[in-house]
Structure 1
Amino acid sequence: MTEILERRRREKVVARLPERVEALGRALELVDGRLPAEVVEASRGVVSRAGDRLRLSPDHTIVALAGATGSGKSSLFNAIAGLDLATVGVRRPTTSTALACVWGSAGAGALLEWLGIARRHQVMRSSVLEDAEVSELQGLVLLDLPDHDSTASSHRLEVQRLVELVDLVVWVLDPQKYADSAMHDDFLRPLASHAGVMVFVLNQADQLSRPDVAACEADLRALLDGDGLGRSPVLVTSARTGLGLGRLRALLAERVLTRRSYAARVSADLAVAADALAEHTGAGEVADPDGKDVAALREGLAQAAGADGIAAAARRSYAGRSAASTGWP
């Protein structure tokens, strides 16, 4: 019963998304020129991205693997795909552009074009298998992003661009860099409102003892809670030994099956944009002004309109006409 109610709730959320996008668009028309330009433009970007995503394939869930150099992100990508697709490196960034692996190609073409993934960086999962057996990940679009800490600014910009578009972000962390302040300050804390569409993976667990793994996991959990990401799950994996890969695949399969990540992402984006507009427009009822305020307003408007001067000129004109008519005084 609980599962049925949850499914119906998600269906209602999805059904209302076009209405919310349209409402935000109308609000932007009303505040244009009245609110800071950067706030309005940022919200317009949300409306555009949300509208595009809702028009594209709802049967696919876009999941991005994001992480720092040497985190094992590409190794994890290969392990999930079951193929050696991404080049693996330890010290230097080897992922210069996003690579996509797609389970179920029907309807994915327009989605990949919207993401800006070149054809040479796309792999259709069924096209590299001899059997066309339907996978538990059918409908998954898995991206291996460039390293967010790359020395190449183009790599960092590509990560920022795609993180704004994807349905679910899986942050791949390693025991050495999981507490990196730049990552928490620049990427994670600003996305606290999107906790429901982020997952954190502590990778390379095979390099630690069991007590150290538990300590790192607890420390990471505490850091994420401090970032406002308490709802985001934390998994422990090792791409080399396969530790935790079953749990990660099960999580991805559940997100793909329920198709809830894309709706949750669009909903979170719209909420953030609406909150930004509300912050600059104020909220609540406007109190009725008292008599003194009304009198002061009337006086100010009269002065602005030059009412005193007009009244004086009218008096002079009236007196002149009266004297001419009566000959008096």
Structure 2
Amino acid sequence: MSSDNTSGPAIELLEAVRRGLAATELPLALPGADDARRDIRNALAQLEDYILPRYRSLDAPLLAVVGGSTGAGKSTLVNGLVGHAVTRAGAIRPTTRQPILLHHPADGRWFEDQRVLPSLSRIRGTLNPAPLPASQAGPTPDAATVSSLVLLADTAVPQGIALLDAPDVDSISADNRKLAGQLLAAADLWVFVTTANRYADAVPWRLLLDAASRDIMVAVVLDRVPAAAEAEVSADLQSMLSREGLGGARLFVVPEAELDGMGMLPAAAVEPLRRWLQEIAADAAGRAGIARRTLNGTVKALADRVEAAAQAAEDQEHAADVLAGDARDAYRDAAAKVLEATRDGALLRGEVLARWQDFVGTGEFFRAMEQNIGRFRDRAAAFFRGEPAPAVRVETAIETGLQAVIIDEAANAGDDADGRWRSDPAGRQLLGSDDLSGTSDGFAEMAAAEIRAWQGSLMELIRTEGQGKRTQARWLSFGINGLGAALMIVVFSMTAGLTGLEVGVAGGTAIAGQRLLEAVFGEDAVRRLAKTAREDLHARCQVLLRDEQQRFLDRLDLSGGIDPAVLAGQAAALRRLAASA
């Protein structure tokens, strides 16, 4: 197989897929998220180890990975294929702790660099000039070198194909199992070794089914088969392969036989498999067909994985939206309750009411207002000029009361949002041991500062409204603080709809402030001032509560991930690529 102009766009697509998968973040603890993360890691590894290297080097020799169950005789089989001991075989498990890649000397350049299996470092091995028993052949690696690949050049390996002796797929070592899966995923074809009494084991069959999904060429070696059971066992295994979509797999039977003094099988036992591999190596067009078939099948399987990653990312976004909605709903409800508390007269009770009544006086204030607005203005003006402190006390009482309402509703919202998140596994994971119920540190001070800022803006409204020549003398005579206190009282007695000013729970107390303002600015201006002040207060409360909810939303930042629609588009492009070959 030779490179052609079509490999360029294919590689560009595959590189984009690699970037997309690498950018896929699945931080939320959703059902299936662990499996999705593992599948993404496996897809990335296969891109690096096999798909991209094969597209970049379509002329490279085939890589035949020899894998199978513990004790199936893989290393002994490989030794038999080359005619002398090159890999370690023995009773101690795991035997194959380090993968050994056997290749013809002329093919060395294809494997010495990091073209294939780039995550494994290379160790150049040498063949012993004198034969060694299989138990002494090959390197004896320690655990620290399990991530390396031993390269052995041997003229007994036909040019055009390389053999890779992999660890056991069901090894007691988790690292070995992981490495075996990685090597099998990088294969152009599999030589899968099992035994007469273990061919139905679950672990090997999971891998064989994966091979079927990738349409990879598989040779199944049934090892150590007693002569009396050969026909029965072979027929049963062939039937199982057919049922699972692997009817095209070649089946080789290695009869039970004694090993010689060097631990070698009789040459005749492995001759059919050796001849089959030699025929593949000698047929350039056939090798190209095998590589193309495996590559296309692997790309098709990759498309399924990318599509699954897109769905997982979409599920994450949906779950994040639900959690964000829970937090926003809690604080939106809090903002609505604060707004309601500022317009239903509730704030005109207690300390605020007492300070306002101190400010406007007793029954004489109302009788003066009813008898003659001019006389009321004169009396109020003298009162404001002589004793400004009561107005300030009204402001302070309003600040304290309003602050208490805001803090209480913000704390309720924090409790609600924290509770909703803890009832959801994803939210529980995001919170961890942190308690976000109640309010954040410093919230009370921020609320007080915002209320004072609102009161300041309200005073500025009055000052601006009173700039006209006809009203300036009036508002100056009443005092800015007095008018401001009156406007706050009016704001807290307004009903929803802003169609008029009504008396709240404080009865005539609220209407006194209204009449005072109307005497200075006129009825329309009072309505406009109250509406503006209320909207300003509502906006400030919303900002305060949005800032509070942000401590929840900050934990939901998925902005670093990739758009699931991009992944879905890449999956479709991969299917077109696989179908075009």
TM bucket, shorter chain? 0.5 to 0.7
Judge conservation of contact 1:73–1:172 (CA < 8 Å) in 2.
yes
> Looking at CA atoms only, which structure, 1 or 2, has the larger radius of gyration?
2
Which residue matches 1:22? 12
Q: Larger helix proportion, structure 1 or 2?
A: 2
Which residue matches 2:295? 266
Determine if the alignment matches structure 1 residue 199 to structure 2 residue 214. no
Which stretch of structure 1 is more off in the superposition, 108-117 or 175-184?
108-117
Which stretch of structure 1 is more off in the superposition, 58-67 or 169-178?
58-67
3-state DSSP class of the match of 1:254?
helix
Read off the aligned partner of 2:296 and give its amino acid letter.
S
Determine if the alignment matches structure 1 residue 53 to structure 2 residue 54. yes
Shift of 1:226: 2.6
Read off the aligned partner of 2:294 and give its amino acid letter.
R
Judge conservation of contact 1:167–1:265 (CA < 8 Å) in 2.
yes
Which residue matches 1:214? 231
Read off the aligned partner of 1:254 and give its amino acid letter.
E
Judge conservation of contact 1:195–1:232 (CA < 8 Å) in 2.
no
Determine if the alignment matches structure 1 residue 223 to structure 2 residue 224. no
Shift of 1:136: 7.5
Which residue matches 2:188? 167
TM-score relative to the length of structure 1: 0.67
Shift of 1:92: 3.0
Judge conservation of contact 2:104–2:157 (CA < 8 Å) in 1.
no
Which residue matches 1:152? 173
- Give the whole-Å Cα distance in 2 for the aligned partners of 1:46 and 1:93: 24
C-alpha spacing 1:230/1:279, structure 2 compared with 1 (3 Å): farther
Which residue matches 1:247? 272
C-alpha spacing 1:55/1:195, structure 2 compared with 1 (3 Å): closer
Read off the aligned partner of 2:90 and give its amino acid letter.
G
3-state DSSP class of the match of 2:105?
coil
Shift of 1:116: 4.2
Judge conservation of contact 2:14–2:52 (CA < 8 Å) in 1.
no
Which residue matches 2:30? none
Which residue matches 1:189? 209
- Give the whole-Å Cα distance in 1 for the aligned partners of 2:166 and 2:5: 31
3-state DSSP class of the match of 2:252?
strand
Shift of 1:77: 0.3
C-alpha spacing 1:94/1:82, structure 2 compared with 1 (3 Å): same
C-alpha spacing 1:16/1:232, structure 2 compared with 1 (3 Å): farther
Pick from 206, 229, 249 the counterpart of residue 232 of structure 1. 249
Deviations 1:85-120 (A, max 9, x none): 112224633211111211134423125773545324
Which residue matches 1:85? 86
Number of aligned residue pairs: 260
Structure 1, gaps ≥5 residues long: 1-9, 127-134, 283-329
Shift of 1:58: 2.4
Which residue matches 2:281? 256
3-state DSSP class of the match of 2:274?
helix
Once the two structures are superposed, the pairs formed by residues 262-301 of structure 1 within 5 Å of their partners are: 262-277=291-306
C-alpha spacing 1:42/1:140, structure 2 compared with 1 (3 Å): closer
Shift of 1:244: 4.9
| C-alpha RMSD of matched pairs (Å) | 3.3
Read off the aligned partner of 1:118 and give its amino acid letter.
I
C-alpha spacing 1:104/1:119, structure 2 compared with 1 (3 Å): closer
- Give the whole-Å Cα distance in 2 for the aligned partners of 1:48 and 1:273: 12
Structure 2, gaps ≥5 residues long: 27-32, 126-149, 256-263, 312-581
TM-score relative to the length of structure 2: 0.40
Shift of 1:55: 2.8
Which residue matches 1:180? 201
- Give the whole-Å Cα distance in 1 for the aligned partners of 2:78 and 2:41: 35
Tell me which of the two structures has the higher relative contact order, counting C-alpha pairs closer than 8 angstroms and 6 or more residues apart: 1
C-alpha spacing 1:281/1:87, structure 2 compared with 1 (3 Å): closer
Shift of 1:191: 2.6
3-state DSSP class of the match of 1:76?
helix
Read off the aligned partner of 2:227 and give its amino acid letter.
L
Determine if the alignment matches structure 1 residue 139 to structure 2 residue 160. yes
Shift of 1:227: 2.5
